[in-house]
Amino acid sequence: MPSSSATAPLAPIPGFRRLLTGRTLSVLATCLIPTALTLAVIHATGSAADLGLVLACELIPQLVLLPIGGVLADRRPPQRVAFAADLVRGLVQLVIGVELLTGSVNIVHLSVLSVITGSAVAIGTPTVSPLVTAVVPPEARLRANSLLGTARGVALVAGPGIVGVLVVTLGVGWSFVLTSALFLVAATTLGGLKVARHERPVGHSTFMTDLAEGWQVVRSHRWFWTNLVGHGISNLTAGVLMTLGPLIAVRELGGDTSWVITYQCGMVGMLLGAYLAPRLPIPRPLVATALGGAVFALPLLTFAVPAPTAVNAAAYFVAMLGLGVLNTVWQTVMQQRFEPHTLARADSYDALLSFAARPLGLALAAPIAATTGNAAVLVVAAVLVGVSSLGLLALREVRTMGFITPEEPAPGSVAVPETADDH
């Protein structure tokens, strides 16, 4: 990637500030939901089974509807789809907050509202890349994805703490009201983006035809679907670490503090990786993403020993730094290599594997470890993520593909906005 991409000015790009603000608010609001929802169930029934039901009601629609969300974001202007998704989520959080404040919440209501929330997540998630390509020119997208990734990382770190403060000071009901307000502001911010008319190829196509075409697009790019498999395995092993890591830290490494230190070091690494991605010399982006995925084997191996907290924290820092670089570079490659009218559908399959694989890792790790021991599960997970990531380097297109430079024609070339709107 040309070095100028790291310093390409983004503020003068019409709409980017609005895009960054809207996405940051939306991600922050999303990060507030899990902790607040857990507390809402505890207030309603206090049942672990009810909590599992509510969380499943939010996750399952995401897995089912993500490809449909990709079709919608490719068929319709992505800013309108993003507006609708965040508006629905905002209204749902407001209803939950009002029910908690009035004492009328129950598990059936929470389950139904969680289904609606999960559906809105599935519809809104594939709009991110189309919005980036609609606003940001190709030569500035790596830098834009870096800023968006850094903002997302800050939201992930800050979200649980914000919920904790709100619950202590205002109560769990008001935390949902605030979450609702964040979604509603995000909806109006993203919905107000002024971008060019959403162009589609000439000719009529049905919704089902577009859905089938999305799968064909994914299958037609070997470099893409093989990376998706690698990312899915990476997310699976991340779920394993998120299950067994805290257990090992608490039982064998001195308690909660050990895991908190390790986890926070990882979050710092992820933020740093997103920040550094456009500043690093990366001539072969898919080689960089493969290496970024492979380093996640490090904390899996150190926890298998288990190593001292300082070693685990350092390993997790490196792993998450690699993930921060991977996410930023990968999004940029996708946005450069897919036609604008197919990008959301491709992105939806990327999100689908991520959404499905991590919960699977969370669910399988403890039962298997109860039979084989923690170390065996962690070592197998480390081998899986290392082999699947480095194995991508066997593909010629992975080893040779570069970023598209400003001089090259790009499938995802940005359209000229109708009007400048960056307020």
Instruction: Give residue 2's pLDDT.
Output: 44
pLDDT exceeds cutoff 50 at 373: yes
Residues 6+ apart with CB under 8 A from 173: 97, 98, 99, 100, 101
Say how many C-beta atoms besides its own lie within 10 A of residue 104's C-beta: 9
Cβ-contact 423, 16 below 8 angstroms = no
Question: Confidence band (pLDDT; 50, 70, 90) for 51?
Answer: confident
User: How confident is the model at residue 5, as a pLDDT?
Assistant: 46
Distance of alpha carbon 299 from alpha carbon 26, whole angstroms? 30
Confidence of residue 374 (pLDDT cuts 50, 70, 90): very high
- What is the pTM (predicted TM-score) of this model? 0.85
Angle (nearest 5°) at CA 64 between 75 and 153: 80
354: phi then psi, degrees, rounded to nearest 5: -65, -45
pLDDT value at 416 more than 50: no
Q: Identify which of 307, 310, 323, 31 has the alpha carbon closest to the alpha carbon of residue 155.
A: 31
* Model confidence pLDDT, tens digit, residues 68-98: 999 999 989 999 999 999 999 999 999 999 9
pLDDT, mean over the chain: 87
- Among 319, 320, 39, smallest CA distance to 152 is for 320
Residue 297's nearest CA partner among 243, 354, 238, 351 is: 238
Model pLDDT, residue 234? 93
Place of tokens 């070693």: 311
Residue 199, pLDDT score: 64
Q: Is the pLDDT of residue 412 over 60?
A: no
Share of the chain above pLDDT 90, in %: 59
Average pLDDT over residues 280-285: 94
Let me know: does 395 contact 226? Beta carbons within 8 Å: yes
**Looking at the predicted structure, is the pLDDT value of residue 260 above 50?**
yes
Closest CA to 126 of 294, 331, 315: 331
pLDDT band at residue 233 under the 50/70/90 scheme: very high
At 103-113, the pLDDT tens digits run 887 889 999 99
More confident residue, 49 or 344: 344
User: Can you tell me the distance from the alpha carbon of 193 to that of 80, in angstroms, rounded to the nearest whole number?
Assistant: 9
Q: Answer yes or no: is pLDDT of 7 > 60.
A: no
Least confident of 125-129, 263-267, 355-359: 355-359
pLDDT tens readout for residues 293-328: 999 999 999 999 999 999 999 999 999 999 999 999
The pLDDT of residue 385 is above 70: yes
Tell me how far CA of residue 188 lies from CA of 25, 80, 85, 88, in angstroms.
11, 10, 11, 12
Burial class (CB in 10 A: 0-12, 13-18, 19+), 381: buried
User: What is the pLDDT averaged over residues 62-71?
Assistant: 92
| Predicted pLDDT of residue 358 | 86
How sure is the predictor about 65, in pLDDT bands with cuts at 50, 70 and 90?
very high
User: Three-state SS string across the chain, please?
Assistant: CCHHHHCCCCCCCCCHHHHHHHHHHHHHHHHHHHHHHHHHHHHHCCCHHHHHHHHHHHHHHHHHHHHHHHHHHHHCCHHHHHHHHHHHHHHHHHHHHHHHHHCCCCHHHHHHHHHHHHHHHHHHHHHHHHHHHHHCCHHHHHHHHHHHHHHHHHHHHHHHHHHHHHHHHCCHHHHHHHHHHHHHHHHHHHHCCCCCCCCCCCCCCCHHHHHHHHHHHHHHCHHHHHHHHHHHHHHHHHHHHHHHHHHHHHHHCCCHHHHHHHHHHHHHHHHHHHHHHHHCCCCCHHHHHHHHHHCCHHHHHHHHCCCCHHHHHHHHHHHHHHHHHHHHHHHHHHHHHCCCCCHHHHHHHHHHHHHHHHHHHHHHHHHHHHHHCHHHHHHHHHHHHHHHHHHHHHCHHHHHCCCCCCCCCCCCCCCCCCCCCCC
pLDDT at 112: 94
Q: What is the pLDDT of residue 155?
A: 87
pLDDT given at position 201: 63
Q: Assign 411 a pLDDT band (cuts: 50, 70, 90).
A: low
Find the mean pLDDT for residues 127-152: 91
pLDDT at residue 198, as a whole number = 60
Residue 408 has pLDDT above 90, yes or no: no
pLDDT of residue 180: 95
The count of other CB atoms within 10 Å of the CB of residue 162 is 19
Q: How many residues does the chain have?
A: 423
In percent, the amount of the chain with pLDDT more than 70 equals 91
